Amino acid sequence: MSTEHIEVIVMGGSAGSIRAARNIFQFLEVLPVPILMALHRPANDPDSNLRHVLQNVCKMPIIEPKATTLPQPGHIYLAPPDRHLVVEKNRTLELSNSPLVHYSRPSIDVLFLSAADVYGRNALGILLTGANHDGAMGMKLLKEAGGTTAVQDPADCMIDTMPRAAMALTTIDQVLPAQQLAVWLNQHFLQ
């Protein structure tokens, strides 16, 4: 895979995804692109506990963005509790409290669909472990827009419904355990 054209990574997951994200972030170097992330989380997550849990093992700063945030390389933008993370045409990030998608807000599909629309072939989507189909349609549309797709290996997942749903809908470029996703990203962005 050539990453010369990749300008953003979008990542999502649900059940088991905190552990999967930690397994990725503890081995991930600072990348020259932003990472936008939607993980299913409780609406009442106090004091951004998830951000702190992930930041403890991550070399890049993890930010819960405010409206009209312009994502910067080498930063991770985590959808806050009970808000969809949306990429706007001008590439700023917006937060939405529009209806739940697949029983979730933030929704992975909302993030992936907006990234596919704005970045097209310049987006890389990564779908992690989870118990519903959120993210599968977003991966399909990202792939149709020319983007690159990767999923956590179902055998490495706590619950493999999400990656399997994406694999059933579209061609996935890379299927790897969480830790190996970090190695793969480091190799392709930092070689």
Tell me the domain boundaries of the chain: 8-188
pLDDT band at 47 (very low <50, low <70, confident <90, very high): low
pLDDT of 3 above 80: no
131-154 average pLDDT score? 97
Enzyme catalytic residues: 14, 40, 134
- Name residue 70's amino acid: L
What is the reported pLDDT for 78? 96
Model confidence pLDDT, tens digit, residues 75-114: 999 999 999 999 999 999 999 998 889 889 999 999 999 9
Apex CA 50: angle with CA 189 and CA 154, to 5°?
A: 60
End-to-end CA distance of the chain, in Å? 12
Q: Tell me, what's the pLDDT at 128?
A: 98
Pick from 131, 141, 116, 185: which is nearest to 163 by CA? Answer: 131
The topology under which CATH files domain 8-188 is Rossmann fold (3.40.50)
Looking at residue 41, what is its pLDDT? 86
